[in-house]
Amino acid sequence: MEKILVLLHTAADGGLPPAALETLGVAQSLGAAWDLAVLGANAAAAAQSISSGAGKTLAVEGDAFSQSRYSTDAAAAAALIQASGAQIVLAPGTMRFNRALPGVAARLNGAADTHIVAVDPSLNVHRWFYRQRMEGTLTRSTRPWVLLIEPGSNPAATTAAGAPAELLSVPVETRTQVTGFQSPAADQQTIRPGASLLFVAGAGWTKKQKDGATHTGEAGEIILGFVQKTQSSLGSSKSLVDLSGEGQAVLPFLTHLHQVGQTGSTPRHRKGLATCCHGEEPHVVGWRFINERRAINLDPACGWSRGKADVLYVADAFEVMRALAPLL
């Protein structure tokens, strides 16, 4: 098999993110010779900490490369790929590398494929199409070929320290400065990638209920109370976040970042509970990587009833969630 380059980046704290070790695990499972390259803050030390088994070990570090930014990441990655000479590059599909590596592939007259969940030694790669509605296995003749491995889809490698990294010096040319990060207020931090449960709130929470009135205030309390108690991740449907965007008095803590589905996210959690959400296909494609699914909906014929959930509770979500709160 062709030699592989395992191309990784460090996180802001200089450590390797879990997705990096998962990518290394995929590379090791292929049984080919592999080089290791790391870019970012503290890259050389991070590379050496896992370089046992690698051919060449390479790194690019320094202030300019500690920021996640296209121009500098692309320059560093291109230099690392060229220094290795490997034509097959395995890299974690983090936002940082999803941004940088497709362009690097183009710069080197190669190609990149993303969201890869499995690779075999003949370089057949498995990925999803049409927003997780179809799965396909393919290979490609283009070289260099950058394969971005979907985080969370493979076990992490067992690693050991090895040879020190050779540091490459890469010229910095950029017009961009990363000035900071914005996250929701601490009590509204509702996206928890590591949580085992995804809780989805649909537009039903804002609709007129049995008594002919809306109860959005109580809905907000129920939802946030549940999410905080269970430390689950909070998702939503497009209808509900669109309502919020249109300035209606809805659930102010929901934004497009919470949207799950066709034009939202496809989070990975072990379990998912959908409430007041109809379970329409454009929403449910975002549930592809939720293993155990349950839904609470008043409508026995809603989308969830047709093989999209394991259990559908035909019930009033207000009543069930009120009864659930003291049990948690």
Partner 1 sequence: MPYQIIVCGGLAPDPLQTLEPVSSPAGPALKNEMMLPAVFDPWAGHALYEAAHLAKQHPGSSIKVVSLAPKAKLQQVMMTIAQKLPFELVPLDGPGGGFTDAASIAAVLADAIAAIPGLDKSQVLLFGGWESATRGAGTVMQMVGEKLGITEQFLAVDELTIDADGALVIKERVEGGQHQVSRCTAPPAVLAWATGNLSEPANHPQTGMANMRAMMPALQKAKPASLTSALTFADVSLPAVTRQTRIVKDVPAAEIAREIAEWIKQ
Q: Nearest distance from residue 19's CB to ligand FAD, in Å?
A: 23
169 binds, among partner 1, ligand FAD, none (CB under 5 to 8 A by kind): none
Q: 78, 277, 290, 312: which one contacts ligand FAD (CB under 6 A)?
A: 277
Task: Tell me how crowded residue 25 is: count the other CB atoms within 10 A of its CB.
Answer: 17
Q: Nearest distance from residue 288's CB to ligand FAD, in Å?
A: 12
180 binds, among partner 1, ligand FAD, none (CB under 5 to 8 A by kind): partner 1
Which CA distances in Å does 69 have to 36, 183, 295, 328? Answer: 21, 19, 40, 42
Task: Tell me how crowded residue 80 is: count the other CB atoms within 10 A of its CB.
Answer: 27
Please report, as residue ranges, which positions from 177 to 206 form the binding site for ligand FAD (by CB under 6 A).
202-204
312 binds, among partner 1, ligand FAD, none (CB under 5 to 8 A by kind): partner 1
Round to whole Å and give the CA distance between 130 and 145: 22
User: CA angle at residue 131 from 129 to 132, to 5 degrees?
Assistant: 70
Task: Tell me how crowded residue 239 is: count the other CB atoms within 10 A of its CB.
Answer: 17
Nearer to partner 1, 165 or 197 (CB): 197
57 binds, among partner 1, ligand FAD, none (CB under 5 to 8 A by kind): none
Q: 35, 61, 150, 280: which one contacts ligand FAD (CB under 6 A)?
A: 280
206 binds, among ligand FAD, partner 1, none (CB under 5 to 8 A by kind): none
Binding status of residue 235 toward ligand FAD by CB under 6 A: no
**DSSP 8-state code for residue 150:** P
The pair of three-digit structure tokens given for residue 232, joined into one six-digit string: 């689950």
Round to whole Å and give the CA distance between 40 and 161: 18
Round to whole Å and give the CA distance between 279 and 277: 6
Nearer to ligand FAD, 2 or 299 (CB): 299
Nearer to ligand FAD, 142 or 263 (CB): 263
Query: Among 306, 302, 305, 293, which residue's Cα sits nearest to residue 267?
Result: 293
The pair of three-digit structure tokens given for residue 52, joined into one six-digit string: 């046992």
Decide if 234 contacts 201 (C-beta within 8 A).
yes
Nearer to partner 1, 39 or 54 (CB): 39
Q: Nearest distance from residue 290's CB to ligand FAD, in Å?
A: 13
- List residues bridging with 89 in a β-sheet: 5, 146
The stretch among 10-18, 74-82, 153-161, 232-240 that binds ligand FAD (CB under 6 A) is 232-240
Decide if 198 contacts 227 (C-beta within 8 A).
no
Task: Provide the mask over 292-321, with x wherever binding to ligand FAD is found by CB under 6 A and - wherever it is not.
Answer: ----xxxx--x-------------xxx---
Q: Nearest distance from residue 57's CB to partner 1, in Å?
A: 26
Binding status of residue 220 toward ligand FAD by CB under 6 A: no
Task: Provide the mask over 140-179, with x wherever binding to ligand FAD is found by CB under 6 A and - wherever it is not.
Answer: ----------------------------------------
By the 10 Å C-beta count (0-12 exposed, 13-18 middle, 19+ buried), 35 is classed as buried
Query: Among 151, 147, 179, which residue's Cα sits nearest to residue 17?
Result: 151
Q: Rule CB under 6 A: which residues touch ligand FAD?
A: 202-204, 207, 209, 237-240, 259-264, 276-278, 280, 282-283, 296-299, 302, 316-318
